[in-house]
Structure 1
Amino acid sequence: MRQRRVVLSGCSGGGKSALLKEMARRGHATVPEPGRRIIAEERRTGTRALPWIDPASFCQRAIELAIEDAAHAKGATVIFDRSALDALIWFDRTGTELAQTTRQQVLSLGYDRRIYLTPPWPEIFESDDDRKHGMTDALAEFEALCDRLPQYGFEMVLVPKRPVLARANWFEAQLEEGAAA
């Protein structure tokens, strides 16, 4: 049986990580966001592939880490907090060159065709030491996902704005529906 690779993406500060944490608590296989792990590593090593210093290097590293994540993911269904698609779409959005072989590798990672997107939710959005951008940048990122994902053949499903437990119940129902399809 083929592994399901379910992507949870969307607007920064839209509650993805909280939902992923609840899904893990419920026993689902999850993979944390590459970006936050890259930032932690860059701070530890003192290197500069940070989104506010060198976004192209950061996004290239995000693709590399997401490819590693996909290769090492365990479980029949794995939920990814963001994916290589997010970084690929950053390259598209900014017009920054990306090798065609890398682009093809990202598109062949076997992510489910249905991508779950957290919509903009200004009431819960917060900047922090790892998310230095504001709501305007988060909206541009979300709009780019909405624009490009269908062009790559993905269907977008908006995650409803609900408390975390209600969102997790909804998401589990979505996963069950997708498994039956």
Structure 2
Amino acid sequence: MPERFVVITGGPGAGKTTLVERLAAAGFAHAPEAGRAVITDQVAIGGRGLPWQDRELFAELMLAHDLRSHRQAQRGTGPVLFDRGLPDLIGYLRLCGLAVPERLQTAVRRFRYRQRVLIAPPWEQIYRQDDQRRQTFAEAESTYRHLVAAYTDCGYQLVHLPRASVEQRVRFVREELGTHRSGVP
């Protein structure tokens, strides 16, 4: 089952969500990014589980979101694209200088993904800040380095997405997954 769970990760603003959304529009099942969902929800209710208020609570809420996404994906068949995976939380906590709780380590060991993880490198030409993405480009680069370390430490092999158009990245992912010729979305 984990081999059909495909993670697309990378630092903020590297184009991964745009890629996942384009692939979803082409018919791929997908699990949206926990961070943006948590931020949206917390802002809507006046919650404090935000990266600029309570990073530990923010990470805990993302963990719950990601575990739910993983369980939901188990009900289906075929490839499921994850906009980030559980090891992203390890990278985030390390980036913030926070301890990685044992329950997160347990989750990362139990809820696995496809061995080859697709990672978008930092790309200054497309990087944009917004209401939810407040990091500078330098912080995005640091996030990327922490993600590389976290996924490697968790036993995943990283496959770097090209700095290319969305269409070229879609073709790259399809070729990586073998769906460009099989009639899968």
In the superposition, the TM-score normalised over structure 1's length comes to: 0.92
The 3 A distance-change label for structure 1 pair 18 and 117 is: same
Q: Which runs of 5+ in 2 are unaligned?
A: none
For 1:53 and 1:47, locate their aligned partners in 2 and report how far apart those are by CA, in whole Å: 9
| Aligned counterparts of 1:4 and 1:12: Cα–Cα separation in 2 | 24
- Name the SS for the 2:63 alignment partner: helix
Residue in 2 aligned with 1:147? 149
Match of 2:57 in 1: 57
Q: Do structure 1's residue 46 and structure 2's residue 35 form an aligned pair?
A: no
- % identity of equivalent residues: 28
Please list the CA deviations of residues 113-165 of structure 1 after superposition, one character each: whole Å capped at 9, or x if unmatched: 11110001000000000101111111111001112221211100100011101
Question: Contact conserved, 1:11 with 1:119, CA < 8 A, in 2?
Answer: yes
CA contact (8 A) 2:5 2:80 kept: yes
Task: Decide whether aligned partners of structure 1 residues 146 and 99 sit closer, same or farther in structure 2, where only a CA change above 3 A counts.
Answer: closer
Greater CA deviation, 65-74 or 82-91?
82-91
| Match in the other structure for 1:4 | 4
- Which residue does 1:168 correspond to in 2? 170
- The Cα shift of 1:60 comes to 1.5
Q: Which amino acid aligns with 1:163?
A: S
Superposed CA RMSD in Å reads: 1.8
Instruction: Give me the whole-angstrom Cα distance separating, in 2, the residues matched to 1:84 and 1:152.
Output: 10
User: Match for residue 67 of structure 1?
Assistant: 67
- What is the aligned residue count? 178
Question: Which sections of structure 1, spanning at least 5 residues, go unmatched?
Answer: none
Q: CA deviation at 1:95?
A: 4.0
Query: How far did residue 101 of structure 1 move?
Result: 2.9
Give the structure 2 partner of residue 102 of structure 1.
Answer: 104
- Given the alignment, which residue of 83, 89, 92 partners 2:91? 89
Tell me, yes or no, if the aligned pair for 2:8 and 2:81 is still in contact at 8 Å. Answer: yes
Q: In 1, Cα distance between the equivalents of 2:2 and 2:13?
A: 31
1:122 alignment counterpart: 124
Q: 2:158 aligns with which of 153, 156, 159?
A: 156
Change (3 A) 1:136 1:97: same
TM-score normalized with structure 2 length = 0.90
- Contact map agreement 1:118 1:160 (CA 8 A) in 2: yes
In the aligned structure 2, how far is the partner of 1:99 from the partner of 1:143? Answer: 20
User: Which residue number in structure 2 is paired with residue 80 of structure 1?
Assistant: 82
Q: CA deviation at 1:98?
A: 3.5
